[in-house]
Chain A
Amino acid sequence: NAGVTQTPKFRILKIGQSMTLQCTQDMNHNYMYWYRQDPGMGLKLIYYSVGAGITDKGEVPNGYNVSRSTTEDFPLRLELAAPSQTSVYFCAVGGQGAPGELFFGEGSRLTVL
């Protein structure tokens, strides 16, 4: 039982490159989230999904895209990486039936140079 798994854990990108952060869960939660954590800024919600085929924007969605084709997977895509996207990204699941009670992955540290 792995919980919430994020890959990669670390990545360095050049400006303009694209990449996908993967998030997989085996907890059978319908609700999944992507947050970014910047120093001194706390966590900000990028996108979330309440089930397969359903996604919605959070506070800071610009520059990102998501898809949710299965219950287990919720990838986050950066199409044209910018230095402002340097951050630590956290995937989380939970909240349905227990609002606000989230289980987080270990994070993916992304640096855009």
Chain B
Amino acid sequence: AQSVSQHNHHVILSEAASLELGCNYSYGGTVNLFWYVQYPGQHLQLLLKYFSGDPLVKGIKGFEAEFIKSKFSFNLRKPSVQWSDTAEYFCAVLQTGANNLFFGTGTRLTVIP
């Protein structure tokens, strides 16, 4: 079965600091990759996605992620975080043609004003 690893469980940053959250997956075939975000008290929503093409994808709110196939990674980055980025971030992987989206365990980000 697919597994998705997010090694950072809780990250605490000051505003304006740069962010990088790690995501690694286990499947060796073709995959689609996603980052979802869950703001406090809200439902999960899609932050960005990678299907094919340029491995550097940009999402909402200044977030971006880079797909590195050789490392089975899809790390999330943001150059300068804001207090409003405080949330839980989930990496997710979908094997091409499958219906089951596999989620990582999530990384809680706390941004201190």
Contact = CB atoms under 8 A, between A and B. Distances in A.
A105 B46 contact: no
Mostly, the A contact residues are strand
Given A100-B49, A100-B94, A58 B44 contact: no
Contacts, number: 56
B95 to A, nearest CB: 10
Interface stretch (A11-19, A35-43, A75-83): A35-43
Contact of B43 (A33, A40, A107): A107
15 contacts: A31-B99, A42-B4, A42-B104, A42-B105, A43-B90, A45-B100, A90-B44, A92-B44, A99-B94, A100-B32, A100-B94, A101-B46, A102-B46, A103-B45, A105-B43
Contact of A45 (B9, B43, B90, B101): B101
A106 B103 CA distance: 17
Interface residues of A, number: 27
B43 A90 contact: yes
Contact of A104 (B6, B32, B44): B44
Q: 8 closest pairs, A vs B, by CB?
A: A100-B94, A43-B103, A42-B105, A42-B103, A104-B43, A104-B44, A106-B43, A100-B32
Contacts of A107: 43
Nearest to B34: A100
B42 interface: yes
Contacts of A40: 9, 105-106
Contacts of B44: 43, 90, 92, 102, 104
B60 interface: no
With a 10 A CB-CB cut-off, give which of B42, B103, B104 has the most chain A CB atoms.
Answer: B103
A104 B45 contact: yes
A112 interface: no
